[in-house]
Amino acid sequence: MTADDSVKISTEVMVMFYDTDSGGVVHNIAYLRFIETARTLLALKMGMTFEEWHSTHVFPVVVRTEIDYRKPALPGEKLIVNGRLSEVTGVRMWFDFEILRPSDQSVLITCRQALAMVNTSSGKPQRLPKEIVALAEACSHK
């Protein structure tokens, strides 16, 4: 696996009835849940673990979300959620996501999120792990 591969994820989700609103289209919060799943899988792929988070009390915490809703999804549709680590600064890492409908190649959602590593015992941000910074640097030099 290359550094670039380790900071990208692509996962499939199926829209369930409970993901929809009264208009019969996917509710905005469901898209965020799809992104949350992809982001967690990406963090695991990058070497972070649930065990480490719980033992150190240092968790990746969403501090900002920017999302553009472009087209609606409907119940029963299969969607692809693509995510990637796009930028790393001292205590923040930025991820970009898009949700696609493969049946017509439509981009339904684009999203950018900033996360910080936060010690949940003290509430204080922590510097990003060296391994995360190294992954981001390896990808930016391509």
User: Measuring CA to CA, which residue among 59, 19, 25 is closest to residue 39?
Assistant: 59
Lowest-confidence pick of 7-16, 40-49, 80-89: 40-49
User: Measuring CA to CA, which residue among 114, 111, 115, 116 is closest to residue 66?
Assistant: 111
Structural domain including 114 reads: 3-140
Q: SS3 of 77, please?
A: coil
CATH number at residue 112: 3.10.129.10
Residue 141 predicted with pLDDT over 60: no
Residue 3 predicted with pLDDT over 60: no
User: Measuring CA to CA, which residue among 112, 15, 9, 12 is closest to residue 71?
Assistant: 15
Q: What is the mean pLDDT of residues 95-112?
A: 97
Contacts with 103 (C-beta within 8 Å, 6 or more apart), sequence order: 77, 78
Residue 10 predicted with pLDDT over 50: yes
Residue 1 predicted with pLDDT over 50: no
- Give the whole-angstrom CA distance, residue 107 versus residue 103: 11
Report phi then psi at 26, rounded to 5.
-60, 130
Q: Count the domains in the chain.
A: 1
